[in-house]
Chain A
């Protein structure tokens, strides 16, 4: 069974540029999460989807971050414009039910 797929794995951009990350969850997983992990920290939730509905986006900085999960399958996370402090690993996870999360390998963003 294929795991959670994320792309790109690495992205380097200059500040004020836009960037987008893509995630394809495990087939059949209705719940999809985007987490951000800063260096030396644990993952922090940005947004959680149940199918195509964002059920928790309270931690998403909505002035520059946006996300969508059209058709309730794959999802994109966008940052526009990027700032230096956005450098982090962006992790996507999916879940078949409550509790256990299956993470992708992450997308490491470096903003110069």
Chain B
């Protein structure tokens, strides 16, 4: 039973436009959420996180939105750049020091 779901295996977006990656979770105990980015043959790298006490966190071109009632979060990248082409993993934990559960990932392609 997947607790963190990324239902879109892949997404293609034109360079310069907004990329929106979605993530749903089932465990209402989750209160800390992270996004990781992964290039081929490399380990995942941390991108941005959000605590359940917030509904938005912004870092440069990256913004994460959290809708607790819908158990849904999304990552917005604007404007999208070629270097953003990668696999993006959504992850969550029940407490900040508990184990982190990952989704299956969404492969983002930025088109020239």
User: Which B residues are CB-close (under 8 A) to A103?
Assistant: 36, 43-45
In the complex, are the beta carbons of A40 and B104 less than 8 A apart?
yes
With contact pairs A100-B49, A103-B43, A106-B43 given, residues A42 and B102 touching in the complex (Cβ less than 8 Å)? yes
Known: A91-B43, A101-B46, A105-B41. A42 touches B104 (CB 8 A): yes
Contact of A99 among B4, B34, B36, B103 (CB under 8 A): B34
In this complex, what residue of B is CB-closest to A47? B99
For window 55-108 of chain B, which residues contact chain A by CB distance below 8 Å?
89, 91, 93, 95-97, 99-105
Asked whether A43 and B96 contact (CB < 8 A) given A101-B46, A104-B43, A105-B42, the answer is no
Instruction: Kindly state the separation between the CA atoms of A41 and B6 in the bound complex, as whole angstroms.
Output: 10
**Pairwise interchain contact B105-A42, C-beta atoms closer than 8 A:** yes
Question: Shortest CB–CB separation between residue B63 and chain A, in angstroms?
Answer: 18
A65 at the interface (CB under 8 A from B): no
Q: Is B32 an interface residue (CB 8 A)?
A: yes
Instruction: Output the nearest chain A residue to B91 by Cβ-Cβ distance.
Output: A42
A93 to B46, CA, bound (A): 11
12 A-B residue pairs with Cβ-Cβ distance under 8 Å, sorted by A, are A35-B102, A41-B105, A42-B89, A42-B105, A43-B102, A48-B99, A97-B97, A98-B96, A99-B96, A103-B45, A105-B43, A106-B43
Task: List 7 additional A-B contacts (Cβ < 8 Å) besides A4-B43, A40-B104.
Answer: A42-B4, A42-B6, A42-B91, A43-B89, A102-B46, A103-B36, A103-B44
